[in-house]
C-alpha cells in the first residue's frame, strides 16, 4: 500500500512491521490492547479474533487477504488504528475499505480525515465500498462526511472516484 499523510495522520504499510521480529512483537502487543469487544463488535466476522485470541494469526490472515496500513498520529507517531483495503478487478475497480481505531481515538475526526486522505491518493477511476452495521450511526456519519453515500441496492456505502 502506498502511504500518505494528512494534517494529523501518517498512514504507512504495515508489512515491514510484520516481517521484523521486534516490530512484529510490538505490533502484536499493541493489537492485544486495542482489539477490545467494543472495537471488534462492528467488524464483519472475518475480522474478528478467534476464540483463542490469536493475534499473530489475525495479523497473518489480514496480510494474506488485504493491504493493511498503520494509522499513526504525525506528531508522536503513536499507532491509532488500522486501514484495511481489499481490491477487486472491475470497471471501475472496487476497493473495499475497512478500518478500526483504538477506543481512545474515537470521536476525534481521525477516521474522516484518513478516508478523505485515502480518496486523494488512490488511482482513478475507482469505486470505494464500505459496510456499516445498521446500528452503527457513528461510522455511517464518518463515511458520509468523507463523501460516501448509502447504496440501498448494494447494502454498502459507496464513493466513486473519477
User: pLDDT digits over 1-40, tens only?
Assistant: 789 999 999 999 999 999 999 999 999 999 999 999 999 9
pLDDT given for residue 50 in this prediction? 86
Q: What is d(CA 40, CA 161) in angstroms, rounded to the nearest whole number?
A: 29
Q: What's the pLDDT band for 46 if we cut at 50, 70, 90?
A: confident
Closest of 50, 72, 71 to residue 61, by C-alpha: 50
Q: How many CA atoms lie within 13 A of 14 on its CB side?
A: 27
Are 112 and 82 within 8 A, CB to CB? no
pLDDT given for residue 145 in this prediction? 96
Tallying the residues shown for the chain, one arrives at: 162
Q: Note if the pTM is more than 0.85.
A: yes
62-78 pLDDT, tens digit per residue, is: 999 999 999 999 999 99
> Helix or strand or coil: residue 67?
strand
- At residue 103, φ and ψ (nearest 5 deg) are -55, -40
Amino acid at each position: 500500500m502506498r502511504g500518505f499523510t494528512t494534517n494529523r495522520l501518517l498512514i504507512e504499510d504495515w508489512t515491514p512491521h510484520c516481517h521484523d521480529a521486534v516490530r512484529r512483537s510490538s505490533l502484536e502487543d499493541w493489537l492485544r490492547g486495542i482489539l477490545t469487544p467494543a472495537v471488534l463488535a462492528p467488524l464483519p466476522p472475518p475480522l474478528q479474533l478467534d476464540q483463542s485470541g490469536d493475534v499473530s494469526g489475525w495479523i497473518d490472515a489480514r496480510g494474506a487477504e488485504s493491504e493493511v496500513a498503520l494509522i499513526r498520529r504525525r506528531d508522536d507517531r503513536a499507532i491509532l488504528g488500522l486501514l484495511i483495503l481489499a481490491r477487486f478487478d472491475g470497471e471501475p475497480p472496487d476497493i473495499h475499505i475497512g478500518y478500526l481505531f483504538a477506543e481512545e481515538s474515537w470521536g476525534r475526526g481521525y477516521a474522516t480525515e484518513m478516508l478523505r486522505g485515502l480518496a486523494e491518493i488512490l488511482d482513478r477511476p475507482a469505486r470505494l465500498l464500505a459496510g456499516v452495521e445498521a446500528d452503527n450511526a457513528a461510522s455511517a456519519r464518518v463515511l458520509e462526511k468523507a463523501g460516501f453515500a448509502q447504496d440501498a441496492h448494494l447494502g454498502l456505502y459507496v464513493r466513486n472516484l473519477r
